[in-house]
Copies of this chain bind each other. A is one copy, B any other.
Amino acid sequence: MKKIGIVGATGYTGVELLRLLAMHPGVEVSFVTSRSNAGTRVDAMFPNLRGHCDCEFSDPGDDALGDCDLVFFATPNGIAMNHTPELLKSGVKVIDLAADFRIKDVDVWSQWYGMTHACPELLETAVYGLPEMYRDEIRGAQLVANPGCYPTAVTLGLLPLVESGKIDLENLIADTKSGISGAGRQGKLPNILSEAGESFKAYATSGHRHQPEIAQNLALVAGSDVDLTFSPHLLPIIRGIHATIYTRDDGSLDLQTMFEERYKDEYFVDVLPAGSQPETRSVKGSNMCRIAMHRPGNGSRIVVLSVIDNLVKGAAGQAVQNMNLMLGFEENEALRHPAMLP
């Protein structure tokens, strides 16, 4: 039985980690920390966990994390980087669900996240936790940077195309839409149902932190910079991300064959039959990414549709997938259940 710690489990990625780990036969959650809620029962905050999580939030100051086999940071950006070096020294593996270790260029990171990095020396050794790109590296990693939600959906939707070397890298557009749980479990005015319900809007149109993360992923594959316009929108639903990705080739790529071939051994990437349009609800609660490709008017324009559950494949589910790889479990352990529909 592996011992797991979760730092900062009072947000949605935290409760989702707890939901998924409750179905995992090989791990036990030893510590669930929260400074502001120390002493509170976890299931008093999250009643869905009643009967599944007989513990209290403890103070993160506790040295006990050093006894864990692996620690998840489900904290805001800028927290994990302060604790990771010491944990790694104690031999504890770390998965950060925030952005501290996602960007390799520390200057780019500081510019977008507005902080000085506490341990830039770890940026090189941290492995980007997208198993469909870096499975082997993740298996051997001590520190994994769990990808952002949008970057997961967009990168998986573009990967085969960029790998082909045949698309126009100067003309990439990702028009993305996210459910509001991506905005976190916080009492902010724009997130209340009366403000966000029955409405739709774009946000961060002029620039969003996930743009450099996606661009980095694609550039590493392409071997050159890419010009990506990233345009996120807020959906009045709780879970789900839908990416509509636009690019161009010379009209010759066999999209269906290419994507099916690329992902044929990937349990969590489902290439839909030609002509499909994936719904976000088809992945609700599951770790799947479903993808379909279109070529309007049979021209050179390519449209890729990619959906994930932002809290699962976009956060906690992918983190558990990474944990499984790092600790030697079956990659899909605790992640084999179907999505919930309707």
Contact = CB atoms under 8 A, between A and B. Distances in A.
Contacts of A303: 205, 229, 231
Interface stretch (A48-56, A73-81, A86-94): A48-56
Interface stretch (A102-110, A157-165, A173-181, A320-328): A173-181
A49 B342 CA distance: 12
A27 interface: no
Interface string A184-226: 0111111111111111111101110000000000000000000
B246 A173 contact: yes
Contacts of A301: 229
A207 B246 contact: no
Nearest to A188: B187
A52 to B, nearest CB: 5
Nearest to A171: B171
A278 interface: yes
A279 interface: yes
Interface in A292-342: 294-297, 301, 303, 305, 307, 336-342
Interface string A233-259: 101111110101010000000000000
A20 B263 CA distance: 27
A339 B48 contact: yes
Contacts of A240: 198-200
Contacts of A197: 180, 193, 197, 236-238, 342
A151 interface: no
A188 B187 CA distance: 4
A4 interface: no
A238 B175 contact: no
Contacts of A340: 19, 48, 284-285, 340
Given A173-B246, A205-B277, 17 more contacts: A19-B337, A19-B340, A22-B337, A48-B286, A50-B270, A50-B282, A51-B270, A51-B288, A175-B244, A185-B192, A193-B236, A194-B238, A195-B342, A200-B240, A203-B277, A206-B296, A233-B244
15 contacts: A19-B341, A22-B338, A47-B279, A175-B175, A177-B233, A180-B192, A188-B192, A193-B193, A198-B238, A198-B239, A200-B240, A201-B242, A202-B242, A231-B296, A340-B340
